[in-house]
Structure 1
Amino acid sequence: SNILSSHFTVKIRRKYQIYIELNSPGLGESKGFSALMVNAIPNFHFIAGNQCFPRYLYDENGNRFEAITDQGLAHFRAAYPGETIGKEDIFYYCYGLLHSPDYRARYAANLSKQLPRIPAVKEFADFQAFSEAGRALAHLHINYETVEPYPATLESTATEPAHYRVEKMRHAKIKQNGKGVKDPATILYNHRVTVKDIPPEAYRYIVNGKPAIDWVVERQSIKTDKASGITNDANDWACETMNNPRYPLELLLRVITVSLETMRIVDGLPGLDIAKT
């Protein structure tokens, strides 16, 4: 579409020490569009064969420079004459816009087969709103391990650190039309700890094809790879790296908070009113 701009796009020619990256699915991936800010270089399949867009790039001598080009900056400044716009504003504008339900719906076909392009919205107030939302989302997503845990109801008989060992979390079952179905409000952490009263709204935050909460339930576990025989034990990371046997439980509660806050911000985004070019 000729109303879209891709001036923010940059190519990564080396694995530089990138401060912040914007990740979106690889071209042709089938899990739907996702964008997630990180502060470390991710695995290639972090988000379905992701594409990465850094805040900064570094030269051979370690000198840092902006990944947003001067041409990109000029493009957005021309869209809002007389307004003060910096490259950081544009970077977070991109992140905010990529979370817009209007944007994702309008360009769903394009997002399934090509890199996202970034239009300039018509009003500067909307540009600011998207940029501020993108900044808030970035802070939330990068600092997911330090947000306040969601105050869910915990039914627990745990009295010592070893009681927080997790093997495989699962959802409780409830009866529906005579059949047992998954109860999203309740997660059985282990035989001593049950997490209850999880808000249904928390499951609206989807990353790489499924709710962020379900990623925690799936990955914070003990799992042995059949081919290699290697066992991945979430408790090892909790105890040896985080020095906190409760880490898997706290991570679950923190991701509930992140999910709710993310959707609160997304629901507050302005509609997508694009400037004519």
Structure 2
Amino acid sequence: MNVDSLYSRTAKPHLAISVLAQAYGLKDKAGWSLATARKQVQADRNPQSKIHSILYRPFDVRFIFYHEAVIERPRPEVMRHILAGENVGLVLPRRVEHTGPWQHVFVTNALVEHVAVSLKTIDYCFPLYLSPSTTAPDMFQQTKRPNLAEWLLPKLTAAYGFTPTPEQMLAYIYAVLSSPPYRARYVEELRIDFPRIPFTADPNIFCRMAALGQELIELHLLRKKVRVAGVRYQGQGSDTIERVRYEAATGRVWINNDKYFENITPEMWEYQIGGYQVLEKYLKDRKGRALTDPIRYIHIAEAIAQTIAYQVQLNNLYVAVEMAVIVP
């Protein structure tokens, strides 16, 4: 759906309120009415500027009409940092309810839906940079600054002999959170509170972890395209997703009786981020609709294949992190 189409569905100036309410299942409630909301939207001089990308589920980026008249909890105190300019942030929950392995972290450069990663509990967004407030300048900083504890960079600079960039810090943290040994060792703590990050005392290990973490960030934002698994979209006929099924013997993911993706390994198909089996969830959320972006699905599958390979490298590298850590 393009931006103009989304706006036209939101405003609908030619439709009666009753028709609009029935078409989209909208009901008035305390503090909100459809009639008032539509008037506010129609009075906005530039409503198209309120349409933004939003991370709906891992790798599943959609559009949202981010207007205070129609969003119940827009959380501008956090999301304004994402909207202010180029930025990136970690997405993770404070706690998880399932009993399996912890895998509840992703990265975003867009707005975030509240269960984008965690299936049952609320996710939090941690932007790398904090931007000045335009509505309360006396209460917030006046220049863009890294969202890091003030003591952290001086401590690492003294230990490493150089000052890590904010981007290196984020990449290192993402590598730690993506490391299977870290997830296994602290699984009980990760279920009940935010992660605690061990910082290696070895500058070489820090740089190697940050380099892997940056590769993961590029992959997960789909800014880096890889071809490691040879995933292809095959078959003739309709692109409508009717029934999603996976054949481990052939490595095929069928979307109907005629079309399929091939070279999907069981590890790729079963790979989970948070509460979602990524490759299955992406297709099932589009059931009954035409798959208009098979190339994107290929990029997602390839990114997962490369992520699995990087996590194998992190198995050994993370062990070196905890051999000597910096004490706050």
TM-score bracket for this pair, using the shorter chain length: 0.7 to 0.9
C-alpha deviations, 1:186-220, integer Å up to 9, x for none? 21122221233322332463201343222223223
Corresponding residue of 1:175: none
Query: Which range moves more in the overlay, 205-214 or 129-138?
Result: 205-214
CA contact (8 A) 1:145 1:251 kept: no
**SS, match of residue 80 in structure 2:** coil
Q: Which amino acid aligns with 1:53?
A: F
1:46-65 equivalence runs, <5 A: 46-48=116-118, 49-61=122-134, 63-65=143-145
Ranges in structure 1 where 5+ consecutive residues have no aligned partner: 1-11, 173-181, 223-232, 239-244
Shift, 1:153, TM fit: 5.5
Ranges in structure 2 where 5+ consecutive residues have no aligned partner: 1-75, 135-141
2:92 to 21, 24, 44: 24
2:246 to 162, 171, 175: 171
1:1-277 equivalence runs, <5 A: 13-18=77-82, 19-30=87-98, 32-48=102-118, 49-61=122-134, 63-80=143-160, 82-143=161-222, 151-152=230-231, 154-158=233-237, 163-172=238-247, 185-203=251-269, 205-222=271-288, 233=289, 235=290, 245=292, 247=293, 249-269=294-314, 270-272=317-319, 273-274=321-322, 275-276=324-325, 277=327
Counterparts of 1:184 and 1:65 in 2: how far apart (Å)?
Answer: 50
**SS, match of residue 252 in structure 1:** helix
Percentage identity across aligned positions? 22
CA contact (8 A) 1:93 1:134 kept: yes
**SS, match of residue 79 in structure 2:** coil
Counterparts of 1:34 and 1:88 in 2: how far apart (Å)?
Answer: 21
Q: 1:258 to 1:129 in 2, by over 3 A?
A: same
**SS, match of residue 260 in structure 1:** helix
Query: RMSD over aligned Cα, in angstroms?
Result: 2.7
Higher helix share: 2
Counterparts of 2:284 and 2:262 in 1: how far apart (Å)?
Answer: 18
Flag the structure with larger Rg: 2
Shift, 1:69, TM fit: 3.4
Shift, 1:97, TM fit: 0.9
Counterparts of 2:269 and 2:257 in 1: how far apart (Å)?
Answer: 24
- Number of matched residues? 231
Shift, 1:24, TM fit: 1.3
Q: Which amino acid aligns with 2:209?
A: F
Shift, 1:116, TM fit: 0.6
Normalising by structure 1, what TM-score?
0.73
Q: 1:89 to 1:54 in 2, by over 3 A?
A: same
CA contact (8 A) 1:171 1:187 kept: yes
Normalising by structure 2, what TM-score?
0.63
Counterparts of 1:124 and 1:184 in 2: how far apart (Å)?
Answer: 45
Q: 1:115 to 1:144 in 2, by over 3 A?
A: same
Q: 1:144 to 1:88 in 2, by over 3 A?
A: closer
Q: Which has the higher contact order (CA 8 A, sep 6+)?
A: 1
Counterparts of 1:144 and 1:86 in 2: how far apart (Å)?
Answer: 20
Counterparts of 2:178 and 2:313 in 1: how far apart (Å)?
Answer: 11
Counterparts of 2:233 and 2:116 in 1: how far apart (Å)?
Answer: 31
Runs of 4+ residues over 4 Å off in structure 1: 144-150
Corresponding residue of 2:65: none
